[in-house]
């Protein structure tokens, strides 16, 4: 009796020669301009935070793999990317223990507890940030964090200053914001560097332009509507685009592959919805910058959005 069976495997069936290591390495390279700028602007403490964040994230993954008796996976650089992204969203003077707790939440609760790489329903770095912001929000007051720094530009976090202190947007020229001359997180201030990194990833095919473009459109359209309704009360769209975590969100947070849609139409809805919610939170919410929470919320609805698919050619849905 012939017991030969046909052996098949799940898609993809055609490998393009790329790897998770190469993908994550390209993401890290794309983040370097903004990260290096942050180190130059905020000094040695910024380098310490980034180094601790990256190394502790990798260490947590290694420890969890050892406890669960699984092969080491830190060589794919996924936890290194999570650690770098997480560190870039922090102020340069944040206590070391906050960084370690945050990377544990990001790697364990954001990634490993769901089954590891590619199984996470939420962006791991954002989940770590959200827990820290809810538990120790005082550490994310950038104005207080950098009170002992001397800058050649307005030493106020733009979004918080405009929202809570009634500062005029004229204090923050768009050219300064675009070139990183603003108080904020280590790797989120240099908009030009983040845009260059994002375009590089789009051209290499590592992120989808639909997500970034629709996210930016959501920011600009919603902010414009608020501004037109009350120019004296709300900042203009370009101010929002180049302030806070916006550019980091547009190219490195909203585009996280496991927690974002794979279909084109859902991508447009997903990105625009995130941008829309960010401006709602900034203008009428309690947070100066709603990027972290807004993207996490659209992570929740991602499975529903990905069910929106075009009707197959020749298929009649009227009797479905």
- Top-confidence residue, 313 or 265: 265
Closest of 36, 43, 242, 47 to residue 148, by C-alpha = 43
DSSP SS3 for 1 = coil
Residue 226 pLDDT grade (very low, low, confident, very high; cuts 50, 70, 90): very high
Residue pair 73/45 in contact (Cβ under 8 Å)? The answer is no
Render pLDDT for 30-76 as a digit per residue (tens, 0 to 9): 999 999 999 999 999 999 999 999 999 999 999 999 999 988 889 99
173 is written with which tokens?
Answer: 């020229």
Half-sphere exposure of 316 (CA within 13 A, CB side): 2
The rounded percent of the chain whose pLDDT value lies above 90 is: 73
Residue 88 pLDDT grade (very low, low, confident, very high; cuts 50, 70, 90): very high
Q: What pLDDT score was predicted for residue 7?
A: 57
Q: CA 109 to CA 254: how far, in whole Å?
A: 19
- Top-confidence residue, 86 or 148: 86
Render pLDDT for 117-138 as a digit per residue (tens, 0 to 9): 888 899 999 999 999 999 999 9
Sign of the C-alpha dihedral, residues 82, 84, 90, 93? Answer: positive
Segment 103-107 shows an average pLDDT of 96
Segment 233-251 shows an average pLDDT of 95
Closest of 135, 108, 106, 140 to residue 123, by C-alpha = 106
Closest of 274, 280, 277 to residue 255, by C-alpha = 274
DSSP 148: T
For the cut 70, the answer to whether the pLDDT of residue 16 exceeds it is no
Q: Which residues contact 279 (CB under 8 A, 6 or more apart)?
A: 218, 219, 222, 223, 226, 240, 290
The rounded percent of the chain whose pLDDT value lies above 70 is: 91
DSSP string, 163-222: HHS---GGGS-HHHHHTT-S-S-TTTS-HHHHHHHHHHHHHHTSS-HHHHHHHHHHHHHH
Residue 13 pLDDT grade (very low, low, confident, very high; cuts 50, 70, 90): low
47 is written with which tokens?
Answer: 């380098």
Domains of the chain (ranges; CATH) run 20-305 (1.10.3430)
Q: CA 211 to CA 217: how far, in whole Å?
A: 10
Q: CA 53 to CA 189: how far, in whole Å?
A: 18
Q: What pLDDT score was predicted for residue 19?
A: 85
Torsion angles phi and psi, residue 180, rounded to 5: 90, 10
Number of other residues whose CB lies within 10 A of the CB of residue 28? 18
């Amino acid at each position: 009796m012939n017991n030969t069976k046909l052996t098949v495997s799940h898609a993809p069936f055609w490998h393009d020669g790329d790897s998770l290591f190469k993908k994550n390495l390209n993401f890290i390279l794309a983040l370097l301009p903004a990260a290096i700028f942050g180190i130059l602007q905020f000094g040695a403490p910024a380098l310490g935070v980034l180094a601790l964040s990256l190394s502790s994230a990798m260490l947590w993954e290694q420890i969890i793999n050892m406890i669960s008796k699984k092969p080491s996976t830190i060589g794919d650089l996924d936890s290194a990317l999570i650690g770098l992204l997480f560190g870039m969203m922090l102020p340069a003077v944040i206590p070391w223990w906050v960084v370690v707790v945050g990377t544990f939440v990001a790697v364990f609760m954001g990634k490993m507890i769901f089954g590891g790489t590619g199984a996470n329903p939420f962006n791991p770095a954002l989940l770590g940030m959200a827990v820290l912001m809810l538990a120790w929000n005082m550490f994310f007051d950038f104005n207080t964090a950098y009170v002992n720094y001397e800058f050649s530009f307005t030493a106020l976090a733009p979004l918080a200053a405009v929202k809570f202190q009634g500062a005029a947007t004229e204090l923050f020229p768009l050219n300064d914001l675009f070139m990183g001359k603003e108080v904020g997180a280590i790797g989120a201030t240099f908009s030009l560097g983040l845009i260059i990194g994002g375009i590089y990833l789009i051209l290499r095919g590592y992120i989808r332009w639909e997500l970034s473009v629709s996210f930016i459109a959501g920011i600009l359209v919603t902010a414009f509507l608020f501004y037109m309704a009350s120019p004296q009360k709300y900042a203009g769209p370009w101010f929002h685009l180049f302030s806070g975590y916006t550019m980091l969100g547009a190219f490195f947070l909203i585009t996280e592959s496991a927690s974002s849609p794979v279909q084109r139409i859902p991508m447009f809805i997903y990105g625009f919805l995130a941008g829309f919610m960010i401006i709602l939170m900034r203008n009428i919410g309690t947070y100066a910058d709603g990027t972290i929470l807004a993207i996490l919320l659209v992570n929740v609805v991602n499975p529903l959005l990905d069910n929106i698919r075009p009707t197959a050619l020749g298929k009649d849905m009227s009797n479905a």
